[in-house]
Amino acid sequence: MSHTTAHDTVHLLPKRDGRARAGHPWVFSNEIQMTNTLKSLPAGSLVTVVDSRGEALGTYTFNPGTLIACRKLSGKANAQIDVAWLEERIRHALKRRPALPPIREYGRLIHSEGDDLPGLIVDRFGDVLVGQISTAGMESLKDELEAALVSVTGCKGMIWRRDTAARSLEGLPVTEEMDIAGDVPDAPVVVFENGLEFVADLTGGQKTGWFYDQRANHAFAASQMALLPDTADVLDVYSHIGGFGLAMVDGARQAGKSVRATLVDASAHAMELARESATRQGVAEACDFVVGNAFDVMEEMGAANRRFHAVVCDPPAFIKSAKVMAEGLKGYEKVARLSAALVRGGGYLTLCSCSHHASLEDFKTACVRGIRRAGRSGRLIRVGGADFDHPQHLMLAENAYLKTLSFQLD
């Protein structure tokens, strides 16, 4: 598809163009002069946005049926968005990741607005790329994106997953079906992180198959093991395929400690992958794998007086929209309350949220309330976020979606 013709123009309303002029990458539907011509444009069309003084702010993708009507691609009006342009944008993304050379690496290659490609997530697994598109604008560029990604990275295969719920907001289908191009393995693959090997399912696992955003937080959890007694118990709830739990086991091993890890997840498939990962690492005998609802398992452990020297809880996003903010924060409070009750005196508790609708302060308040409701006191020792390959747009707080709080409890 060609995207080289002159674009339609979106005019911003007087007194409502300040945010876009200041550099925010989104324009909301109530900030534009919505004409019948604009209403008839196909979702995902390229437009030039002009402020109320007639100055062009750049080239954006446009969707007439969404709250976020325009998403910025370029500061140039009528920019030619083609494979060559996308290749250059991807090369810039690689330059932001000096620890990820372009060949056979493992990490996030494209992080939506953080890499000036709104609505696009691409993770790399050696020679395979896994992409998620959440906007009509990126969907309209999908063929060009695939060509540019393969050209720049030299990867041999591409998986496009279409199961992210955000697609529904843009009128895009949400489905377990995916588009696969090139040489893609039909079995789980090995992911390398912090010197460890994990087994991930790129087509049947959560998100893209692995959570690269937690890399630095996994490493910190591992480093805490040096502070534990020579024999200790740790708990990883919402474990997925064992990122935190197996990192803690390795950290204990490196520190000459003996640790027993309990990993909990509602997905039997995830727990099987965690077991395979533990086997690859030679630590399966040090792990217990529990399939069950996190709340139920933690309540049962509390009733049985189970206690751990370190507990990590990394739940899925409880707050899918601003409408359920209060309910979601209560969910995080409950996680904090149940997990804090399982921590031994002097032990460590790490709580995570990937809900971008909740601010860091909102999340921290909910966690502290839960800890106090468990009858515990302590101190916050670390605030973490997504690792370096998840850059944040300076004007878009939503890019900083991941929040990780580590506490030591009395």
pLDDT string in tens for the chain (410-residue length): 445 567 899 999 999 999 999 999 999 999 999 999 999 999 999 999 999 999 999 999 999 999 999 999 999 999 999 999 999 999 999 998 877 655 458 999 999 999 999 999 999 999 999 999 999 999 999 999 999 999 999 999 999 999 998 999 999 999 999 999 999 988 999 999 999 999 999 998 788 999 999 999 999 999 999 999 999 999 999 999 999 999 999 999 999 999 999 999 999 999 999 999 999 999 999 999 999 999 999 999 999 999 999 999 999 888 877 888 889 899 999 999 999 999 999 999 999 999 888 899 999 999 999 999 999 999 999 999 999 999 999 999 888 899 999 999 99
Strands 56-62 and 231-237: unpaired
pTM of the predicted protein model: 0.93
Instruction: With H, G, I as helix, E, B as strand and everything else as coil, classify residue 395.
Output: coil
Amino acid symbol at 25: P
CATH class of 191-409: alpha beta
The SS3 of residue 221 is helix
Query: What is the DSSP pairing of strand 308-313 with strand 343-353?
Result: parallel
For the chain, the domains span: 8-74, 83-186, 191-409
Give CA–CA dist 92/71, Å, rounded: 19
User: The domain at 83-186 falls in which architecture?
Assistant: 2-Layer Sandwich (3.30)
At residue 230, what is the residue type? D
Q: Which CATH class is domain 8-74?
A: mainly beta
Q: How many helices (H) and strands (E) does the chain have?
A: 11, 19
**Fold match between 8-74 and 83-186?**
no
> Are 134 and 91 within 8 A, CB to CB?
no
Residue 299, token pair as written in the block: 């309540």
